[in-house]
Structure 1
């Protein structure tokens, strides 16, 4: 009986199965990594949009007073007074004189404000997912 050098069909199937399993696990890992990076980027983006919206030249917000749980600002552009505060799980900008509100940032579990020198306010937020964010808003002078 002759002995041929080479692989048996069982060895080939086993090698193919191991290769397929390795590629499948690598694909799942890359998908999970991509999704987690996208989620963390989304969280960061809406936080920076909120900060920039509060500093926008189109509103020209002037700080009137800051408390631990809210900020009172005035917009010379609209000649309206606004209150920024947490309600339920959002930060809302509410108009005192005309009513109405605008949600600016969502997923908020806790929020504090602290007035700093030079018309600046430190905003510290804890999101519902446990993420802690902090930023400084620079308000305009009258």
Structure 2
């Protein structure tokens, strides 16, 4: 007589495998979603900083007043960095705007001028992650 598995042992091992597969199917999409959100937040944040420091714009700091950043360009035109409900955007005094940061918690962005060229910027993203950077602008002429 040969030894082997009983039908109960086979059913039990199949149930364990099924439960493991079910747990993986439930957890994996959530983990991927969190990873993509974090990657999107990092990408949005770095693009935001890059747009402010863009050498083609040659932005200079005019002033930081009431937590609002006011910049000027080579032609001495003023731009305001404004926070809306859904985005932070650059607004020209002549009208028009360009969204430069999304996926942030409204009212969380703060500016602190360090010197004539650098501003410390902090913000809280929608997933609760805190971001900060020192933005370097062009030198004053």
> What TM-score range do you get, normalising by the shorter chain?
0.7 to 0.9
Q: Which residue number in structure 2 is paired with residue 33 of structure 1?
A: 31
Matched, 1:99 2:95: yes
More strand per residue: 1
Matched, 1:130 2:128: yes
Q: Which residue number in structure 2 is paired with residue 83 of structure 1?
A: 80
Distance in 2, matches of 1:13 and 1:31, equals 28
Report the Cα offset of residue 118 of structure 1: 4.3
Which of the numbers 100, 107, 119 marks the counterpart of 1:121? 119
Which one has the largest radius of gyration?
1
Distance in 2, matches of 1:42 and 1:50, equals 12
Q: Scaled by the length of structure 1, what TM-score is found?
A: 0.84
Backbone CA RMSD of aligned residues = 2.0
Distance in 2, matches of 1:133 and 1:83, equals 21
Report the Cα offset of residue 21 of structure 1: 1.5
Runs of 5+ in structure 1 lacking a partner?
none
Q: Which residue number in structure 1 is paired with residue 8 of structure 2?
A: 10
Structure 1 segments of 4+ aligned residues over 6 angstroms from their partners: none
Q: 2:109 is paired with a residue of what secondary structure?
A: strand
Q: 1:59 is paired with a residue of what secondary structure?
A: coil
